[in-house]
């Protein structure tokens, strides 16, 4: 019975340790100043910061200004930006971060953002019609509600991000990874198991000690 209860406790903590707590908010309308550990302004040749790799599917390109049926410049953005259409664009890093921000242009309901772990797996995902975006998510080129700088803070290390959209298009600019935290501060499942097992043994020993007969002295 004790072993069964201990096994259930370990399984419960293991499951909860894999769930990230992510805070998502819109910070402001328009471009914000670029500062952070890793910055992507999508200008020039778009050279990636050290430790980052990129991958893409579908139609991904860098644009300046709006191009009908191809891409719409984020509102008040006269610089070069990234647009993803009928595919995805992903960045992966060898370092983990706790904060991610970017300027999201003409937000569409189908625009999807995935946060990636060290193995490139998604641990958190949301899209343009998420209520936290404070957007009507109808792709309006000229609405401050649909052109927002967003900020994410995660208690699980962000090793990468993927932007995807099945239509035309997902526009992104001024992407920043910040607050280097290395590996996730959440203990690995094996570590949890050892900790819980240790506590279980201590509790068992204390219980056995209470049950052992004690000598009485006159």
Over residues 6-36, the pLDDT tens digits come to: 333 332 332 233 467 998 888 777 767 777 8
Tally: H helices and E strands in the chain: 2, 8
Cα–Cα nearest to 145, from 74, 212, 87, 40 = 74
Total domains in the chain come to 1
197, part of any domain: no
Q: pLDDT of 48-101, one tens digit each?
A: 989 999 999 999 999 999 998 899 999 999 999 999 999 999 999 999 999 999
Does a structural domain hold residue 214? no
Q: State phi, psi for 138 to the nearest 5 degrees.
A: -110, 15
Give the CATH number for residue 106.
2.60.120
Within a domain: 191 = no
Alpha helix locations (H) across the chain? Answer: 2-17, 189-211
Q: What angle do CA 174, 176, 177 make, to 5 degrees?
A: 165
**Residue of 81, 2, 95 lying closest to 49 (CA atoms):** 95
């Amino acid at each position: 019975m004790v072993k069964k209860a201990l096994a259930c406790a370990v399984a419960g903590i293991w499951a909860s340790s894999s769930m990230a707590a992510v805070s998502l908010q819109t910070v402001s309308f328009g471009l914000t100043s670029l500062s952070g550990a890793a910055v992507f302004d999508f200008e020039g040749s778009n050279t990636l910061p050290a430790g980052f790799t990129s991958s893409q599917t579908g139609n991904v390109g860098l644009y300046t200004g709006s191009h009908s049926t191809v891409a719409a410049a984020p509102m008040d953005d006269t610089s070069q930006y990234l647009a993803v259409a009928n595919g995805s664009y992903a960045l992966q890093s060898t370092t983990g971060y706790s904060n991610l921000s970017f300027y999201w242009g003409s937000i569409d309901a189908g625009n999807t953002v995935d946060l990636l772990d060290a193995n490139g797996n998604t641990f958190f995902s949301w899209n343009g019609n998420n209520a936290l975006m404070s957007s009507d998510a109808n792709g309006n080129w000229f609405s401050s509600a649909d052109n927002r700088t967003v900020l994410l803070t995660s208690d699980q290390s962000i090793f990468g991000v993927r932007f995807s959209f099945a239509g035309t298009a997902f526009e992104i600019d001024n992407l920043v990874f910040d607050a280097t935290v290395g590996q996730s501060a959440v203990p690995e499942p094996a570590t949890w198991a050892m900790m819980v097992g240790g506590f279980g043994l201590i509790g068992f020993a204390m219980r056995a000690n209470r049950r052992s007969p004690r000598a009485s002295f006159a």
